[in-house]
Amino acid sequence: MNYIPCVQKESSMGIQCVPITDELLLHRVVQLDDAIDAATASIINGQIRHLAAAGPGQPITLLINSPGGEISSGLAIVDTIRLCGCPVIGVCTGVAASMAAIIFEACSKRQMLPHAEIMIHDPATTGGGGTALSVADQCRRLMDKRDLLADILAERTGFNRSQIQLMTEKDFWISAQRAVKENFADEILTSL
């Protein structure tokens, strides 16, 4: 069980301990700091949708420090970011790896802390097996996801699909400075 830090707030009910995530949400800040799975995507999507409904068109900040995770769950977050009607400012605070990098790239504005990093790579199989036709179908689907993810990166960076796929043949680490230089990020933050 992860410990969630609290802040003390005074109200008519006295002094209360409020989870820091709730306090950040009041300031239109969402945190993605876990591996991406269906549960994480549900929380992130719910928070983004709530903020979009509460303040249509107002910016939402998404703090990202994640090792990545499931493609389908990550793409659900990408779709929510793109369709919520609010600009979503992605801030890479540590590492945006794998699917977290795709989410970061989908944001309207991409900011990084000075020592943050992005890591992109080809999607990996999650096992599988079965009949020859089943394995062939899994391979086809994996290659389709490879093209889709490369297209998302290409759209935001200016590289073409082939260039992205060449980069992602192995783990490709990008420092904040290089990310700005090669259009994987818009700016490095110098203050919070």
Query: Which residue, 182, 11, 161, is CA-closest to 110?
Result: 182
Exposure string (b/e) for 98-125, b if CB count within 10 Å is 16 or more? bbbbbbbbbbeebbbbeebbbbbbbbee
How many residues are given for the chain? Answer: 192
Residue 90 phi/psi, 5-degree rounding, is: -85, 130
Show which residues are catalytic: 98, 121
Q: Which amino acid is at 61?
A: T
Give the rounded distance of the alpha carbon of 103 from its chain centre. Answer: 3
- DSSP symbol at 69: B
Q: Which H/E stretch holds residue 48?
A: helix 38-54
